[in-house]
Amino acid sequence: MIGLFLSKFDIEGVALLGFGGFTEAFNTLGYAIGAKPASLKNYRDEFDPLFPNPRKGWHKRKLRDYCKVIYDEYNAWEISGFSEFIKSIVYSNYEVELIVEKAMRSKTREGSFAKRLITGQAAEQYFKQIYNQIPFFQGLLLEDTTKLGCGFDFKLRSDSSNNFFGIEVKGLNGLSGNIALTEKEYSVAKYLKQNYFLFVVKNFIEKPTHIYYQNPLESNLKFKKVETQIIQINYSAII
C-alpha cells in the first residue's frame, strides 16, 4: 500500500506526508512499520511502470499477482483519502496520534506525520531492532514502557539482577538538531544517573544511525532550562 501510494502520487505524496524526499520517506516509514526501507523502495519501483512519473521502475518484468490485486483495488483512490489510510496503517495508535497531529497542525512542522514518526515511533522501532547489537546492551531483556509515562521509553535488565537501565529514545531527521527532555525525563535522568541512557536516532533524511549517552546530564550535552508560560482557559457551568 505504501509503495503504491508513493508511486502514484510521487513527490506530491511525499510532501503531503511531510517528508523532504523519498529517502527520508523510505527510512521513516520502513522503521515505523518494522520493514526494511529498501523493501518500500522496491514496492514503489514495482508500481512505477503503471504511472506517468519520471522513473521506469521494474518495467522489464510483469507486475506480481498480489501487487496487481492491490493496484486494482486501490488505484482509483484520491490522494487525501489514500494519505489518511496510510497514516492509519502506520501509526501504532492511529486515533490518538491523529488527534494530536491535527491539534498541533498550526505549529509549523511539529504536528506533521513525518515529524511525529521520526521523533517517536520510527526512532523507537529502530532502537528495538538494533539494541541487542550494541555490546553494552547485549543479552539484556527489553521492556517497552512508552505507554507508562515513567520518564523513559524502554527498560533493559538482566535475569539475574533487579537493576535496570532506563532508555529514552529521541529522533532527528538530520545529522544534528535540538533534543529536548521533558521535566519528568530530566528528573528521572537526574535520579537514575548511570542507569539512564539517552539514545538518539539521527539522519532519517539519508541513512539512520545512532548515538547514545549514559548519564546524559553529566555528559558533554549541555541542557538549557526553557520555561514556557501557558495561559489556561476554563469554561464553567452552573448545575
Whether residue 40 is predicted with pLDDT greater than 60 in this model: the reply is: yes
Whether residue 100 is predicted with pLDDT greater than 90 in this model: the reply is: no
For the segment 197-226, the average pLDDT, to the nearest whole number, is 95
Strands 164-171 and 154-157 turn out to be antiparallel
Whether residue 97 is predicted with pLDDT greater than 80 in this model: the reply is: no
pLDDT bin (cut points 50, 70, 90) of residue 19 is very high
pLDDT at position 182: 92
pLDDT at position 60: 87
Q: How far apart are CA 53 and CA 236, in angstroms?
A: 55
For the segment 47-72, the average pLDDT, to the nearest whole number, is 92
Whether residue 76 is predicted with pLDDT greater than 80 in this model: the reply is: yes
Look at 175 and 97; give whichever has higher pLDDT.
175
User: Helices 2-16 and 79-90: crossing angle, nearest 10°?
Assistant: 110
pTM of the model: 0.84
Whether residue 95 is predicted with pLDDT greater than 60 in this model: the reply is: yes
Sign of CA dihedral 90, 150, 187, 131: negative
pLDDT bin (cut points 50, 70, 90) of residue 230 is low
For the segment 63-68, the average pLDDT, to the nearest whole number, is 95
The phi, psi pair for 50, rounded to 5°, reads -90, -5
pLDDT at position 239: 78
First-to-last CA distance in the chain? 51
pLDDT at position 106: 54
Who's near 128: CB < 8 A, 6+ residues apart?
Answer: 142, 144, 154
Domains in the chain (CATH in brackets) are 2-90 (no CATH), 119-218 (3.40.1350.10)
Q: What is the pLDDT of residues 104-137, one digit of tens each?
A: 665 555 558 888 888 889 999 999 999 999 999 9
b/e per residue 31-59 (b: at least 16 CB within 10 A)? bbbeeebeebbebbbbbbbbbebeeebbe
pLDDT at position 108: 52
pLDDT at position 159: 79
Q: pLDDT > 90: what percent of the chain?
A: 72
pLDDT bin (cut points 50, 70, 90) of residue 145 is very high
